[in-house]
Amino acid sequence: AQSVTQLDSHVSVSEGTPVLLRCNYSSSYSPSLFWYVQHPNKGLQLLLKYTSAATLVKGINGFEAEFKKSETSFHLTKPSAHMSDAAEYFCVVSDGGYNKLIFGAGTRLAVHP
Amino acid sequence: GAVVSQHPSRVICKSGTSVKIECRSLDFQATTMFWYRQFPKQSLMLMATSNEGSKATYEQGVEKDKFLINHASLTLSTLTVTSAHPEDSSFYICSAPGPTAFTDTQYFGPGTRLTVL
């Protein structure tokens, strides 16, 4: 069975400082991994995805994530946080058919001036 | 890009009534759509897979007679919460795999907030 664990339920950073949102996964085979962002009262938006190509994945809005098989991790990073980055972030694994998605518990990112 | 819409965005109903939520793929066809529910400050939980032209597949623990799903066309799936009760109050979200070149990506609707009084 596949699962994802987001290690932090809340992360707070100052504007202009780096962001790190941690995610570990469990999968019996090579997974497809995603990061989605959910802003209040808005739909989920795909930030980036890993589908067995390059291990360092670049997404929208300056976010990137690195797939590390040895550590079963897929942490999300951004060099410099912006106030508009404040939102809920979900690490997601696919069951291999790119259809059924399994969501992590989410990490709420707060960005302070 | 691929857009998924939901209607209504918010609905308030009395206990015992039924509520229908629509999920539409606006600029692409979707033979499969997915329904999730999200409780406050919690993650999304997959409820069921909606299949065009066949019965929906429900996740373990989800009552199929309570949450009726109909995939009427290649662009429309509906979720009907029958005999709703306050514990059914939640945020319901649908998604669909993208069009041909982007089938490895799910596109999500904006969600429907259901409040049962």
Cα atoms found within 13 Å of the Cα of residue B53, Cβ hemisphere only? 3
The 10s digit of each residue's pLDDT in A54-75 is 889 999 999 999 999 999 999 9
Size of interface A-B (CB pairs under 8 A): 52
> Within an 8 Å CB–CB cutoff, is residue A80 touching chain B?
no
Pairing of strands A107-112, A10-14: parallel
What CA–CA distances, in Å, run from A10 to A79, B9, B60? Answer: 18, 27, 29
Residues of chain A found within 8 Å of residue B34, distances taken between Cβ atoms: 99-101
- Tens digit of each residue's pLDDT, chain B (117 residues): 788 999 999 999 999 999 999 999 998 999 899 999 998 878 899 999 999 888 999 999 999 999 999 998 999 999 999 999 999 999 999 999 887 666 668 889 999 999 999
**Other Cβ atoms within 10 Å of A19 Cβ, number:** 19
The Cα–Cα gap between B39 and B109 comes to 16
Element holding B95 (H helix, E strand): strand B90-97
Residue among A41, A98, A106 whose CB faces B43 most closely = A106
Cβ pair A49, A32 in contact under 8 A: yes
DSSP B111: -
